Structures are given as C-alpha cells and as structure tokens.
Amino acid sequence: MKEHKGVTALLRAAEQERRCAIGDGGAIYHALRRRVKALELASPYPNLFADVRYWDSLNPEECSLHMIRALAELHPQWTFAGLSAACVYGYQHSYALHDGSVIIASPKGSGHGSAEQLRRLYMHVVPRQKVRGIAVTSPSRTLIDCAAMPFSNALAIYDSALRAGHVAIADIETLMPTTNCDTASVAKLLKHADPRRENGGESWTYASIIELGYAEPSLQVEFTNPDNPGMPYRVDFCWRLADGRIIVAEYDGMAKYVDASNPHRASLQAKLNYERRREHSLTEQGVSTIMHLFFEDVRTTARLEARLSEAGVPKIR
C-alpha cells in the first residue's frame, strides 16, 4: 500500500516511545485501519496500532508494555493492576502468562471492560502510585493479586519484588486482612518467597521442585574456590542428606554450550574449562551429585521428577 506520511510519522514516534500508536479518530485512523486490513499493521487493542514487523520483533512482555504505555496516555485515570502492574515494575515472570489482555483496578466491579482485551479487578480502595509516569497498584497489592496465578508462576514475581526492595513480607501480611484474596495462596507464596534466588528461572525451578513434593533445598550455598578464595563457588540449590551425601542442582536455562564450530570457540573452551575446575572442586569438597537442570527439564513434570529421583533428592510427600 502507498506510504501515508502521517501514518509513518505516527508509527515512528510511537516506536521511539516504546508504545503503540494511537489513532486520532479522523483521516489518519481510517488510513491505519486500511493498513490493518492489508496486514501491514497490527492492532492488539482498539485504536492501538503498530507496524507488523516491529510488533513481531517484540517479546510478549514488551507487547504488553507497549499497550500499557499507550493506554496510560489515553486513560490517565486508569490504574494498572495484576500482571500489567508487575510488567511496569519490571518484575520477572514467564512470558506464557501473557494472553493479550490488559488489567486495571476498578472500584466499580470486576470482569471485562468495553474492549475484549480489558480485564478489571475489583478493589474497594485502589492503592495507586506512579511508576515511570504510569499509575499502578502498590507493590503489596500487585503481589496479592498475582497470587491468583499458578504457584510456579507467581513465585518468580514475589522473588523479583523482594530482590528489588520494593516490598517486605510484612507489608503484604498487613494488607491481606483488608483484601478479598485467596489467603492460602498468598500465605504459601510468602512462606517460600526469597530474594536470594537470582532470576525467574531459579524461582520457577524451586517452585516446581516444591510442587512435586521434594525436600526444600538450601539456596546459594557457598563452597571454597581454591583458584580465588575471595570469590567462593555458589550453587543454586543444595541438599545435605542425613547419610552425608551432598546433592547440588544448578538451573542453566537454555543449554549453555553451543556448536564448537562457532566463532567464539575460544571463549566457549574457557567456559568449559572453568566448569570442569568448578565441578572438580565441588566434588573434592564432598558433593556427591551435581545436576544441571535446563528449561526443557523443568517444563516437563515427568522429566523433572525423573532427574530429581535419579539424583537421589528425597521426596517428603
């Protein structure tokens, strides 16, 4: 379709601000709609637009944030809540939680809004504050609302908020009695939330281990590094068993090592050598089993259970 200078300028300005473009309700809006029908533009929410190639380059969290920033400009009275607020705060979470919807707090009722993608969470009193110019619910209220997610997804958000220093467990405990929420789910998350887990992958892995009924591991346990005593080796998860065995598990996300023919082979070899020295040192310090867990292991329940069982991690229920 022939270039429309007004549309192009609108889209580029929006991209620079990391948000969706907003239709003007006039001639430019109709030009935008024609380009949506021609599959040149995406329209993830009524009156919001983005170049298809640009939109497809974004991950699900970035897509949500682009919508939120545009809607915050259109509706400054809105207060974003739940997963939408967690995105604005920058709390780590699984991309799988994103379904194209936007969540706002509402003192008038819950359910969907006028747009199919808009979800409302009822709150008699909305604890509102601004983060980077966007109105969101308070960290405590955001975490309480995120407790409605599956435990393995919500724990990453709780850990991330604690790591950021935005909230303390006591803050959430204080708010709970005045909030209509699933208190059992919130209490379970508060019991296990821990800022020592360094990323969302570790939180997800820990939650999956607990959900399968295995013994709770110790976190970020340190072992001596003979090559650099001031920088001890730290392991993600550690079980010290009554019979003297020590089991260590590391969450490595996607596979660490790629084809050795890649142009960074020297760097890859250095990493491999470091891992060998590290594992040798851990073994010398009594570690009997070192288990590397990858994304694919944690994603599949049966596969994770098999890895834990094979390593000898005790099951307590």
- Asked whether the predicted pLDDT for residue 71 surpasses 70, the reply is yes
- The answer to whether the beta carbons of residues 103 and 83 sit under 8 Å apart is yes
**Pick from 176, 227, 186, 217: nearest CA to 311:** 217
- Which amino acid, residue 3? E
- pTM of the predicted structure, to 2 decimals: 0.90
- Asked whether the predicted pLDDT for residue 164 surpasses 70, the reply is yes
Looking at the structure, tell me whether residues 66 and 51 fall in a common domain.
Answer: no
- Asked whether the predicted pLDDT for residue 109 surpasses 80, the reply is no
163 domain residue, yes or no: yes
Structural domains in the chain (count): 3
CATH number for position 284: 3.40.960
Residue that is last in its domain, among 57, 81, 97: 57
End-to-end CA, the chain: 62
- Asked whether the predicted pLDDT for residue 258 surpasses 60, the reply is no
Residue 119 lies in domain: 60-195
Q: Give the tens place of pLDDT for each residue, 20-29.
A: 999 987 888 9
Looking at the structure, tell me whether residues 150 and 64 fall in a common domain.
Answer: yes
Which pLDDT score is estimated for 273?
81
317 domain residue, yes or no: no
117, burial (CB in 10 Å: exposed 0-12, middle 13-18, buried 19+): middle
Residue that is last in its domain, among 163, 195, 227: 195
Instruction: Collect all residues with Cβ–Cβ distance below 8 Å to 30 and sequence separation of at least 6.
Output: none
Q: Give the tens place of pLDDT for each residue, 187-243.
A: 999 999 999 999 999 999 999 999 999 999 999 999 999 989 999 999 999 999 999
